[in-house]
Every structure is written in structure tokens, then in C-alpha cells.
Structure 1
Amino acid sequence: MAPSAVLNRVQDLWVDLAGVATSFPAHGVRVVVAAESRLCPPAWAGIVVLGSSGIASAPDVATARFLRESIIGRPLRSAVEAGRWSAEYGVVDVLGPASLAYLDEQEFRPVAGVVDMARLPPGHPELDRLVADVSEDDVAESGIDEITSPVFVVRDRGRVAAAAGYRHWPHSVAHLCVLTGPHFRGRGLARTVASAAVAEALQNRLLPQWRARPEPSRRLARRLGFRELGDQLSIRIATHEVDSNCDSNRPDRGWP
């Protein structure tokens, strides 16, 4: 699949997740009001930049105006920079940014010669011990409890050491989920199980997606052949701050 075709398919996915009629503009970021947007957690604002443009969803009109005034006149990439938003007056929390990476059959670099790979149904009890040994943040980052595909695991002395699968997303996208136990890291197990999950997704004619914040996870994705096409970021804004700061003459607002 040509790079432009992958980008178009990915843009269609995120437009669908926005929940309202919109599209990626030729340049810049298009902001829409979408109370049910899945670009971000409920009541948050979400921004996705892919290629040379982006879309942003806001839960209400005041937040949409806040986003437009905060983004206009600034470089595109600044829209998905955490530090830029954490310093913005009225922003009370930031999630991300997370890189968005994808691959097709031609780009995939699978792990060869894998042995002792097991295949479990999602939610299998053997995964519970793996999850119990890992921090809540790591579990949340991995998305391991959201897998809807078969789960590929490698064991160490009968214990699941690493697991991977994917969650079915709209537009035939497979969202990869990978987790390795803390005592088994540094042995290439994450790459092994992730490779099996990617192969399964491609066999089912799905587009694998790798969303990650930590650099080790992003590096692993690149080793498998994923290309980073953009970034996603969510921000939570204090509504009363937004309402009180819509006056552009306020000196501490710092509008562009």
C-alpha cells in the first residue's frame, strides 16, 4: 500500500473517531465541537496531527474557541507538544503526546525463528499474574486488558513473561497492545510477541496501529517496520478559566 494511501486511511479513522462531520484541512488544525468525540477522554479536548494537518475536538463552544485562539499563528507541531499546553493558562491536565505509527505488508519486519509461542483467548486467566506484576501505569499504557484478538504469549518456566494482541478499531485498524513483565525485560520478548500479533493482523487484512508515549516502545515499533505518521494529545481545560479568558485584552492570557 502506498504511503499516501495509508495516510488517507488513517485520516479517515480519526475523522470517524471525532464523531462529527469534519476533515483534515490542507494545512493547519481544524477545530470542531464534538461532545462525544473519541479523540480524547470525555469532557477533554483532543488533538490529532497527521502529516501536514490536524483535527481537534472540543466538548463545547467555549473550549473550541479557546483551542482556535491558542493554535492560530503557531507552528503545526506545537499543537501536540505537551510542554506548550502545560504552560497555557486554563489547561489543568495533559495526556500525551503519543506517537501514531502504522505499517503494511511491505514494511513489516517480522521476528524469525520464534519457538515456544502460545496463543490464548483474550482475558485468559494466565494473563492475570502478568498484569499483577506490572505497575498500573504500564498496564494502562499497554492496553493489554482491551485486547479483542487472540493473545500471543511467551512463557518462562511456565509463567507468561510477555503478551501481545490487538484491539479491533473502526476502519479495519488493529490497535496493538504489548506488555512484558518487569523481570523479563531486555530479552527481546516484547518484539517477539508483538511480531506475532502484527502478523495476525496483517493476515486478517487489518492495518496495524502502534500508539506510544515512551521512547522504548516507539523504538520497538520502528524495529518492526512501523512509520510514525503523527501524534495525538488530549488536554483538560477548566471551563471557568476558559470563559473568563475569552477577553483577548487580558494581559496574562498571552493569545498568539
Structure 2
Amino acid sequence: MFRVDQEALRAPGVHATFVDDPSAGIYVLRIGDTVRVRARVTLRARVDSLLRDLRVDDALDPAPWGSALQDLDPVILGPAAHFVSGSVPVASVEEARPTLADVRRMAERIPAAEVEESGVLEEDVERFGSWSDGTLVAVSALSPWVGGHTDVGLLVAPAFRGRGLGAQVAAVAVGVATRRAGIVRWRCREDNAASLRLASRFGLTPYGRNLGVRVAL
């Protein structure tokens, strides 16, 4: 992703990689004293200017990114905790796939920021659901990453939280990702205590912290 050799991946400091992808936003990953930034090449001048004086400890602060890119209507996701694993939890429910229309109807009852963070309405995702009396109340999603659909997103209707439904559909997604790709990536906001507990419950390994920035094309 960052187009560097494995041994150089964790070089201390702030480093940027630019890609010729018009749909790419900005992805910021911190591992220890290393910050890696990936952005589309058309944003290079903006990003280089910001990174020139950006300290490692400030790289995941949404404020400087929002200020530097404010005319591009940035949507900032995070800061988030990042976990990875190659183990497969045992799902207690069958794979059940909701339609996009079902997920949109469910999302109408949930704050937009939570829906955006979950990624369940993004393009090219696989979705798994749980229903109560015929109504979709929990959705997990697998978003594409290098090597396959490996990034787990999770959204549960507020009235049904705390019942274990999120854990059930998340276990399905984690199992599908690891069986197919050999790895799963779990990302959640650092203030989302329930999602952090699930990552621990599934035995996922902490792997850095990150920030995502979506900007207008």
C-alpha cells in the first residue's frame, strides 16, 4: 500500500506515498514512532505542505487535516484503533445477506456519522445481517483491501444494542474474511468501547492507529 520495502515500513518519522488514483482519499497509519500517509497524487502539494511541520504525535488529530482541506469538504473518519488477525472465530449464526435496500432502511434510524464510520453502505462490500421480527437490526460488512474483502464494519440499531447481535454478525464477517484471505482487519473509533471489546473478544491483535480522510473529487 505504501510502496516501501518491508524493512523500511517502520522508519521513524512522517512519510508520504502518492498514488495515481482519482478516487483515493487520504489514509494515515501510525505504528509506534512511524506515520505513513497515502494520498492521491493530485493532493500532493496540500499534503506535503501539511506534513512539513506535522509532528508524529499530531498526525492523527483531525483538526489539521480538516483545516488544510476545508474547501474540499473533507469527511474525517477516526482516529481509530486498528487490529489484525489470522484466526477464525466460530460464528453462532448462519450467513444471511441483507439487500442494500434493507440496510438503507435500517440506516435511516441511525445517526449519519455512525453509518459513515461503519462502511456498511459503501460500494463493493459484502454484507451480513441479523433480523428481529422481520426487521434488519444488525449488519456487518467486509470492505475490499489488498488481497480481498478483509475490512470489517459493523452497525447495530440503537434499540438492539447490548444483546449480542453485533457480535454474532461480526463473527460471520471475520470468519468469511479469514477463511478466504487468511487475515481480517478490524478498525473502530477509539471512543467506541463496545467495538474495542469485540476486537478483544475475537482475539484480534492491536496494530497501530489510523485516520481516514475522504475529500471531494
**What TM-score does the superposition give when structure 1 sets the normalisation length?**
0.65
Q: Give 1:51 deviation, angstroms.
A: 4.5
Q: Give 1:64 deviation, angstroms.
A: 4.1
Contact 2:119 2:141 in 1 (8 A): no
The worse-fitting range, judged by mean Cα deviation, of 125-134 and 147-156 is 147-156
Give the match for residue 59 of structure 2: 79
Contact 1:154 1:160 in 2 (8 A): yes
Contact 2:10 2:31 in 1 (8 A): no
The reply on whether 1:215 has 2:192 as its aligned counterpart is yes
Give the match for residue 178 of structure 1: 154
Deviations 1:44-99 (A, max 9, x none): x542223442322454454344234213xx4x34322346x37x975646722122
CA distance, structure 2, for counterparts of residue 94 and residue 204 of structure 1 = 31
Q: Give 1:223 deviation, angstroms.
A: 1.9
Q: Give 1:177 deviation, angstroms.
A: 2.0
The reply on whether 1:56 has 2:37 as its aligned counterpart is yes
Give the match for residue 81 of structure 2: 99
CA distance, structure 1, for counterparts of residue 43 and residue 69 of structure 2 = 15
Give the match for residue 9 of structure 1: none
The reply on whether 1:228 has 2:210 as its aligned counterpart is no
Give the match for residue 70 of structure 1: 53
Q: Kindly, what percent of the aligned residue pairs are identical?
A: 25
- 1:173/1:78 CA distance change after superposition, 3 Å: farther
Count of aligned pairs = 204
Contact 2:147 2:181 in 1 (8 A): no
> Which letter maps to 2:163?
R
- 1:34/1:70 CA distance change after superposition, 3 Å: farther
Q: Which has the higher contact order (CA 8 A, sep 6+)?
A: 2
Gaps of 5+ in 2: none
Q: Give 1:160 deviation, angstroms.
A: 1.6
Q: Report the aligned-residue RMSD.
A: 3.3
Q: Give 1:118 deviation, angstroms.
A: 5.2
CA distance, structure 1, for counterparts of residue 201 and residue 13 of structure 2 = 30
- 1:77/1:224 CA distance change after superposition, 3 Å: farther
Contact 1:172 1:206 in 2 (8 A): no
Q: Give 1:187 deviation, angstroms.
A: 0.8
> Which letter maps to 1:99?
A
> Which letter maps to 1:29?
V
CA distance, structure 2, for counterparts of residue 180 and residue 146 of structure 1 = 16
Matches within 5 A, 1:134-153: 134-146=110-122, 148=124, 150-153=126-129
Greater Rg, structure 1 or structure 2? 1
**What TM-score does the superposition give when structure 2 sets the normalisation length?**
0.75
Gaps of 5+ in 1: 1-13, 16-20, 238-256
**3-state SS of 2:181 partner:** coil
Deviations 1:189-243 (A, max 9, x none): 1011101111111221342111221423233222222222112225699xxxxxx
Contact 1:179 1:190 in 2 (8 A): yes
Q: Give 1:142 deviation, angstroms.
A: 1.1
The worse-fitting range, judged by mean Cα deviation, of 123-132 and 167-176 is 123-132
CA distance, structure 1, for counterparts of residue 214 and residue 101 of structure 2 = 36
**3-state SS of 2:59 partner:** helix
